[in-house]
Amino acid sequence: MLLAFCLALILSLLITPLVIRFSLMVGAADKPNSRKVHAKVMPSAGGLAIFISFVAVYLIMTPYFPFEEYNQVAILAGAFVIVLFGLMDDIHEMKARTKLIGQIAAALIVVYWGGIQVEYINLPFGGQLDFGVLSIPITIIWIVGITNTINLIDGLDGLAAGVSSFALLAISGMALIMDDMFVAIIALIVTGSTLGFLKFNFFPAKVFMGDTGALFLGYIISVLSLLGFKNVTFISLVVPIIILGVPISDTFFAIIRRIVNKQPIAAPDKSHLHHCLLRIGFTHKQTVLLIYAIAASFGLAAFIFTMSTVWGAMLFIAVLILAIELFVESIGLVGHDYRPLLKFIASKSVKDRP
C-alpha cells in the first residue's frame, strides 16, 4: 500500500509539468472573469496528471492485488468517460446539460456493468428500508451529486485537491478498519496522485485541475464510498456523508441560498464557502488552510461516529448539524440576513438579562 502511494506521488510529480504543456498546447486554459479569483490565463487540464498517475500505478499494482469481487473494468471505464467529458469541457466549454449526460453515463456504467448499487439499509432501531426500484436512481444520484460537489468547491488554488485528499485518506482508513483492501489501496493511489499534483496546484498555482480533475475525483470518491460502506447499515450510510462534509454542505447551502434569493439552482455565484471566508478577511492561503482543517475535522468526526452507540450517533449528528448551522450563519453562506439560530440565541440572551 505504501509502495502504491509513493509510486503515484512520484509519477504525478513527474507528469504534471508535461500535462501543463499539453494543456496549453490544446487550448485547455482558464480565463479570468467576474466569478473567479485568478487574474491571468491558467492551464486548466491539470487533472489529467492525477488520472494518468492513478491508472498507471493501478495497472502496475493490479497483478499483486487481485480483487475479483469487484468489476474493476467497469469502474475504470466509468472513470475514462468522466475524464473524457471533463477534458472536452476544459478545452471547449460545454453546456451544463452535456456535462450532466457524461456524468450519468459514467454512473450507469458503474451501476449496470459494475453491479454497484445501494439496495437497502438496516435502520438503527431495527427493521430494514428496501429501496426497491429506487435503488438504481438513488445510486446514480449519489454518484452524480458527489461528482458535482467536488467540482463546485474547485474555486481556489489547491482547494479541491486538498479537500479530496482528506476525504480519500478517511475513506482509506475506514476501509482498512473494515478489512476492505481494494478500497483502501485505490483510495491511497488516488491520494498520492492528487498530492503530487497539489505541489503545482497550491497557492500560487501553476496549473488548475479543471473539470478533468474535479469530475474524476468526485467520481472516484463517490464510487469508493459506495464500495467501502456497502454493509448498508444506517451508520455506514452516514459515514461517507460526514467524510464529505465540506463539499456536501457547501453544495447544500448553495441550493438553499439560490432558493432563498429566487435564483435558478444551477446559477453560478460568488457566495460559496471559500468566497465567504475571503470576504470576511482571510487571505487566499489562509482560506484554503482553514477549509483543509475543516475537512480534516470531518474525517476525524467520521471515525468518532463509527465508534458511537446508536443513541450516541444520533446525538453526535444533532450536535454536528447544529455546529454547521451556526458556522454557516456566522459567515453568511446563505446570505447576510439568514441568521435564524443566531437571532434566536441573541433574543434569548436579551430576555435573560436582569
Give the rounded percent of residues in the chain with a pLDDT score beyond 90. 39
Tell me the average pLDDT across 96-119. 90
Domain-by-domain residue ranges, the chain?
2-352
Contact 95, 28 (CB under 8 A): no
Cell numbers given for 303: 471515525
Cell numbers given for 116: 454497484
Query: In the prediction, which pLDDT does 236 show?
Result: 60
29 three-state secondary structure: strand
Is a pLDDT exceeding 60 seen at residue 229? Answer: yes
Residues paired with residue 30 on neighbouring β-strands, in sequence order? 42
Query: In the prediction, which pLDDT does 256 show?
Result: 86
Query: In the prediction, which pLDDT does 195 show?
Result: 96
The DSSP string of 85-135 is HHHHHHHSPPPHHHHHHHHHHHHHIIIIIT-----EEE-TTS-EEE-GGGH
Is a pLDDT exceeding 70 seen at residue 32? Answer: no
Give the rounded percent of residues in the chain with a pLDDT score beyond 70. 89
CA separation for the pair 130, 143 (Å, rounded) = 19
Is a pLDDT exceeding 90 seen at residue 124? Answer: no
Query: In the prediction, which pLDDT does 254 show?
Result: 84
